[in-house]
Amino acid sequence: MLSKKTSLGIKNGSAIRAMFVEGKLMAEQYGAENVYDFSLGNPATPAPEKLKEVLIDKINSEDPLVLHGYMNNAGFPEVRKTLAEDLNRRFGTDFDEGDLIMTVGAAGGLNITLKAILDPKDEVVVFSPYFGEYRNYVENFDGVIVETKPDLETFQPDLSDFESKLTAKTKAVIINTPNNPTGVIYSPDTMEKIGTILRAAQERFGTQILLISDEPYRELRYDGKEPDFLTKYYENTIVGYSFSKSLSLPGERIGYVAVPKAVAGHDELVAGISLCNRILGFVNAPSLIQLAVAECVQEKTDVSFYDRNRKTLYEGLAELGFSAILPEGAFYLWMKSPYPDEKKFVEMAKKHRLLLVPGSTFGCSGYVRIAYCVSHDMILRSMDSFRELAKEVGCYA
Ligand SMILES: Cc1ncc(COP(=O)(O)O)c(C=O)c1O
């Protein structure tokens, strides 16, 4: 009954989802407080109090026929206007409501964008390590994902490899900074160079290459690093945003795609993405939460909560002899596996009730991802298990 693609998808599964289920089973077996599940990027700070107030107020005061009704496929115009003005205030951009499409999270935004632009066999370049779902999203529309090699020193993109991977078939490049899984923020220098390389490739092939900036972690930055807005580095850049992490709302499925006026073919791209919102069956982003986030643009998640976790985990693991990249943003720590086959290390960690995600899930073996969007107490409690693991692999005596 199932299509070949879906059957294969089920067979290959998702390592992260599988671990989530495994974590639940282990919690039943050992007691929840003795299992250290670092597998899932589910926010650990509550949504802002104001959001609750706004939701209640909307339900009580809005006309239910409007509140719960169909709308423009791109979303409520006044919501898009508010979000556009907020971007303009913060980043000096010139968006208006006609440049934004409200989406069902970042995942919805990426899917409708890829559907709008991809013909079969078109190529989409990603920088390893990358959010593994990109492969599914690209293959949903019969596109081909092209991975570039990681720079294992810095985990900034390897730009010469990137340049060599661009072809006449490259339709888009997906970039994600702050990055899941490494926590690295791509530097302005990297971004400038990516812009230069893409401009030259467009010239060389006589094509248009869209840079899609996937930004669910835009606001999650440490050490005073201010959010950057990537559209300034390369004219054909669009932004996919999500409130999943920045306001801790992943289950509400809300975000937007912003298409700057400078993007070639702006109007048809906006029309295409809006159409794909409809025909992929989303129709429009959920109405109530659209209205609510527009009134919460000034709200912020508690970045200091994640920052404390980041430091405790990074320092704790360093003391045990593990080697990791100090995250600059997001809520993931990228740690080197003591073995080239990191799956072996992940299995060993499980015996100590530690759930880590293998780097091959992100197109980069030899590493593991540790999601520290958990309670601080859990990180402290997990250190005994990490110590035992460190002794077993021989990096701690
Ligand atoms: C890099 C990246 N992109 C997209 C998504 C999907 O986000 P959303 O829940 O907004 O669809 C995630 C979720 O973890 C992510 O890490």
Cis peptide before 129 (omega within 30 of 0): yes
Q: Are residues 235 and 255 in the same domain?
A: yes
How many domains does the chain contain in total? 2
Q: Are residues 162 and 13 in the same domain?
A: no
pLDDT at residue number 306: 98
Domain that holds residue 138: 49-294
Q: Among 294, 312, 343, where does a domain finish? A: 294
| Ligand 1 centroid from CA 386, angstroms | 28
pLDDT at residue number 14: 73
Cβ–Cβ under 8 Å, residues 287 and 199: no
Q: Are residues 260 and 371 in the same domain?
A: no
CA distances from 29 to 179, 338, 363, 381, 383 (A): 34, 28, 32, 18, 20
Q: Are residues 331 and 363 in the same domain?
A: yes
Atom of ligand 1 minimally distant from the CA of 104: 11
C-alpha span between 276 and 208 (Å, rounded):
20
- Beta-strand pair 237-242/255-258: antiparallel
pLDDT at residue number 213: 98
Report, as an integer, the average pLDDT of 20-32: 87
In this predicted structure, the answer to whether residue 52 has a pLDDT above a threshold of 90 is yes
Q: Are residues 135 and 192 in the same domain?
A: yes
Q: Are residues 138 and 170 in the same domain?
A: yes
DSSP 3-state of 70? coil
| Ligand 1 centroid from CA 60, angstroms | 31
Of residues 91, 397, 54, 101, the one with CA closest to residue 269? 101
Cβ neighbours of residue 348 closer than 8 Å, sequence gap 6 or more: 389, 392, 393
Average pLDDT score, the chain: 96
| DSSP characters over 81-119 | HHHHHHHHHHH-----GGGEEEESHHHHHHHHHHHHHPP
| Ligand 1 centroid from CA 48, angstroms | 20
pLDDT at residue number 21: 83
Q: Are residues 263 and 136 in the same domain?
A: yes
pLDDT at residue number 18: 78
Atom of ligand 1 minimally distant from the CA of 130: 1
pLDDT at residue number 254: 98
| Ligand 1 centroid from CA 376, angstroms | 23
Taking only the tens place, the pLDDT of each residue in 333-389 is 999 999 999 999 999 999 999 999 999 999 999 999 999 999 999 999 999 999 999
Q: Among 230, 260, 294, where does a domain finish? A: 294
Closest residue CA from atom 16 of ligand 1: 180
Q: Are residues 238 and 338 in the same domain?
A: no
Q: Which of 180, 217, 248, 280 to mutate to test the pocket of ligand 1 (most atoms within 8 A of CB)?
A: 180
What percent of the chain has a predicted confidence (pLDDT) above 70?
Answer: 100
- Beta-strand pair 332-336/324-325: antiparallel
pLDDT at residue number 24: 85
Rg (CA), the chain: 21
pLDDT band at 397 (very low <50, low <70, confident <90, very high): confident
- Both structure tokens of 199: 């401009």
C-alpha span between 240 and 259 (Å, rounded):
9
In this predicted structure, the answer to whether residue 73 has a pLDDT above a threshold of 80 is yes
| Ligand 1 centroid from CA 233, angstroms | 23
Q: Are residues 191 and 276 in the same domain?
A: yes
Q: Are residues 41 and 58 in the same domain?
A: no
Report, as an integer, the average pLDDT of 260-266: 98
For 159-184, b/e burial (b = at least 16 CB within 10 A) is beebbebbeeebbbbbbbbbbbbbbb
In this predicted structure, the answer to whether residue 13 has a pLDDT above a threshold of 80 is no
- Beta-strand pair 255-258/100-103: antiparallel
Cβ of residue 361 lying under 6 Å from some atom of ligand 1? no
* CATH code of residue 31: 3.90.1150.10
| DSSP characters over 177-192 | SS-TTT-----HHHHH
Q: Are residues 93 and 185 in the same domain?
A: yes
C-alpha span between 94 and 87 (Å, rounded):
8
C-alpha span between 276 and 101 (Å, rounded):
11
* CATH code of residue 71: 3.40.640.10
Q: Are residues 174 and 285 in the same domain?
A: yes
Atom of ligand 1 minimally distant from the CA of 254: 10
Q: Among 249, 266, 294, where does a domain finish? A: 294
Report, as an integer, the average pLDDT of 43-72: 96
Block residue for tokens 């115009």: 77
pTM score, two decimals? 0.97
Cis peptide before 157 (omega within 30 of 0): no
